Amino acid sequence: MGEARRRKLAHGSTVASTDQAMNESPAGWPLTNPKEQARLEGQFQKLGIDFSKPGFHDSAAFLAVERVRPEILDDYARYVEVRTYSEAELQTAQRKIEVAAGVVSAAVKADGRHGLCVTASGVLSRMLDELGVWNFCVKGTMTVTFPPAVSGIKQCFYALDAGTFEAPHAFVVAPPFLVIDASVSAQSYPSDPMRACLPPLIMQRDFIPYRWKDDDIASPLVRMTRLAGTSVKRYLQTNNPLMLKRMDEFPARLAVYPGGNCAYVVTAIGGYAEKLADLTSVHTLLVGKQPIELFETQVLPQLALSHQGT
């Protein structure tokens, strides 16, 4: 999304990956694509954009291009996803991600409000930028499959639905994690047992491909009315080809938790235009605190402690 559209998020928006994903050493990044990486690097080079460090989407050269061509933010996200990472890079990133994600997830839980996915993911993404970690923030769909003893009915957060909303769901991608969802249990669910069975934090490191279906993307009402028998793919080809392009370029992925799973489909690239210290709007607060306060009083001290322990 363009700079102006990213900026809007700051002014109005509504652990457990599994135990195995935590505290293990990374084993490479499964979405590395050297050919696509080279293509994107060539494109950035022609545009005068230095792509050597995380967060180059904040550079003056990148922002100048984004003002004319907003979809270049998709290219930044695509670059993060296809880039080649050394084991040392992934191990260093993992430690920083686990600490920052844990702080944000705990803040979401303490806050108690539902629907904080845009805020939580946007704040986490900006914390990771501050820590020099390659990442991007996603707006997309989520389909939750619950443990059989809890519910046999899936809960879907649709991209095509009635009403107005900033995003169906939001999460972060930051190698070595394909999904970091700090608000999965803080969404609105039909019953308390559904919410209670979900972990406060999902951090999925293993790539489990997912083939999305029409009922992951569009609500029953939309499928009956707006689509009127047409497939989601055909509808998007005419009405939103950019969304379909993202859904093709960024593979849908499954994240598992004890007894169930969450399927994620990337429909847009989001995040805050403001850097972490500039996120001062009431809409970016978590548990009544500005993101920079959470970062300075919790993330940095925890990282310092973990570094001393190594």
pLDDT in tens, 173-214: 999 999 999 999 999 999 999 999 999 999 999 999 999 999
- Residue 75's pLDDT band, with cuts at 50, 70 and 90, is very high
Residue with tokens 């303490």: 110
Q: In what helix (H) or strand (E) does residue 219 lie, and over which residues does it extend? A: none
pLDDT at res. 229? 85
Non-local (6+) Cβ contacts of 70 within 8 A are: 1, 2, 3, 5
Mean pLDDT, range 69-74, rounded to an integer: 96
Determine contact, residues 9/122, Cβ cutoff 8 Å.
Answer: yes
The upper half-sphere exposure of residue 139, i.e. CA atoms within 13 Å in the direction of its Cβ, equals: 23
pLDDT at position 83 is 98
Residues 6+ positions from 13 with CB-CB distance below 8 Å: 118, 119, 122, 166, 167, 283
DSSP string, 218-263: B-HHHHHTTSTT--HHHHHHHH-HHHHHHHHHS--EEEEETTEEEE
Q: What is the mean pLDDT of residues 16-25?
A: 41
The yes-or-no verdict on residue 3 having pLDDT over 60 is: no
Helix (H/G/I), strand (E/B), else coil: 139: strand
218: which DSSP letter?
B
Nearest partner of 141 among 196, 101, 181, 194, judged by Cα: 181
pLDDT at 309: 54
176: cis peptide before it, omega within 30°?
Answer: yes
Q: Tens digit of pLDDT for each residue in 249-263?
A: 999 999 999 999 999
DSSP E strands in 62-135: the ranges are none
Q: Is the pLDDT assigned to residue 2 strictly greater than 60?
A: no
Q: Average pLDDT of 46-60?
A: 98
Q: Is the pLDDT of residue 22 over 60?
A: no
CA distance 34 to 291: 35
Q: How far apart are CA 233 and CA 267, in angstroms?
A: 12
**Whole-number Cα distances in Å, 239 to 113, 213, 236:** 34, 18, 5
Q: Is the pLDDT of residue 90 over 60?
A: yes
Rounded CA-CA distance 22/33 in Å is 25
- State the average pLDDT for the chain: 91
Instruction: Print burial letters for 206-227: b (CB count within 10 Å at least 16), e (below 16).
Output: beeebebeeebbbbeebbeeeb
Q: Classify 70 as helix, strand or coil.
A: coil
Q: Which two tokens stand for residue 80?
A: 């993060």
pLDDT at 166: 61
Of 166 and 65, the one with more pLDDT? 65
How far is CA 76 from each of CA 49, 51, 166, 281, rounded to the nearest angstrom? Answer: 11, 9, 21, 26
pLDDT at residue 164, as a whole number: 65
Counting Cα atoms < 13 Å in the Cβ hemisphere of 310 gives 10
Q: How many helices (H) and strands (E) does the chain have?
A: 13, 7
- The residue type found at 179 is V
